Amino acid sequence: MEGYQKYTRTYFMPPEKSTKWMEKEYVTKAPQWCSVDLRDGNQALVVPMNLEEKLEYFQILVELGFKEIEVGFPAASETEFTFLRTLIEQDLIPKDVTIQVLTQAREHIIRKTFESLKGAHKAVVHLYNSTSVAQREQVFRKSKEEIIEIAVRGAELLKQCSLETEGDFTFQYSPESFTGTEIEFALEICNRVLDVWQPTADNKVIINLPATVSLSMPHVYASQIEYMSNHLKYRENVIVSIHPHNDRGTGVADAELGMLAGADRVEGTLFGNGERTGNVDIVTLALNLFSHGVDPELHLENLPRVIEVYERMTKMNVHERHPYGGELVFTAFSGSHQDAIAKGMKWRETHAEDHWTVPYLLIDPADIGREYEGDIIRINSQSGKGGIAYVLKQTYGLDLPLQMRESFGYRVKNVSDHMNKELSTEEIYGIFKEEYINITKPIEFIQYTFGDESSAKVKVNMNIDGEATELTGAGNGTLDAISQMLQDKLQIQYSDLTYTEHALEVGSQSQAVSYVGISANNGEVFWGCGIDADIMTSSIKALVSAVNKLVISNR
The domain that contains 547 carries what CATH number? Answer: 3.30.160.270
Q: Are residues 458 and 360 in the same domain?
A: no
Q: Are residues 426 and 447 in the same domain?
A: no
401, 433, 465 — which closes off a domain? 433
Q: Are residues 368 and 263 in the same domain?
A: no
**Mean pLDDT across the chain, nearest whole number?**
93
Tell me, yes or no, whether 319 lies in a domain. no
Q: Which pLDDT band holds residue 555 (cuts at 50, 70, 90)? A: confident
Asked if residue 373 has pLDDT above 60, the reply is: no
Q: How many domains does the chain have?
A: 3
**78-104 confidence digits (pLDDT tens):** 999 999 999 999 999 999 999 999 999
**328-338 confidence digits (pLDDT tens):** 898 877 767 87
Q: Are residues 358 and 505 in the same domain?
A: no
Tell me, yes or no, whether 6 lies in a domain. no
Give the range of the structural domain holding residue 45, as residue numbers without chain letter: 29-307
Asked if residue 391 has pLDDT above 90, the reply is: no
Residue 416: predicted pLDDT: 82
Q: Are residues 295 and 347 in the same domain?
A: no
Residue 352: predicted pLDDT: 86
Contact 438, 515 (CB under 8 A): no
Contact 231, 193 (CB under 8 A): no
Tell me, yes or no, whether 16 lies in a domain. no
Among candidates 235, 284, 290, which has minimal Cα distance to 264?
Answer: 235
**264-287 confidence digits (pLDDT tens):** 999 999 999 999 999 999 999 999
pTM higher than the cut 0.85: no
Number of neighbours of residue 434 by Cβ within 10 angstroms: 10
SS (H, E, C) 109-169: HHHHHHHHCCCCCEEEEEEEEECCHHHHHHHHCCCHHHHHHHHHHHHHHHHHHHHHCCCEE
Q: Which pLDDT band holds residue 476 (cuts at 50, 70, 90)? A: confident
Q: Are residues 191 and 300 in the same domain?
A: yes
Q: Are residues 276 and 139 in the same domain?
A: yes
Tell me, yes or no, whether 326 lies in a domain. no
**116-170 confidence digits (pLDDT tens):** 999 999 999 999 999 999 999 999 999 999 999 999 999 999 999 999 999 999 9
CA distance 257 to 259: 5
Q: Are residues 98 and 184 in the same domain?
A: yes
Tell me, yes or no, whether 470 lies in a domain. yes
Residue 227: predicted pLDDT: 98
Tell me, yes or no, whether 11 lies in a domain. no
State the DSSP string of 280-334. -BHHHHHHHHHHTT---SS--TTHHHHHHHHHHHH-----TTSTTTSTTTT-B-S
Q: Are residues 275 and 210 in the same domain?
A: yes
Q: Are residues 425 and 503 in the same domain?
A: no
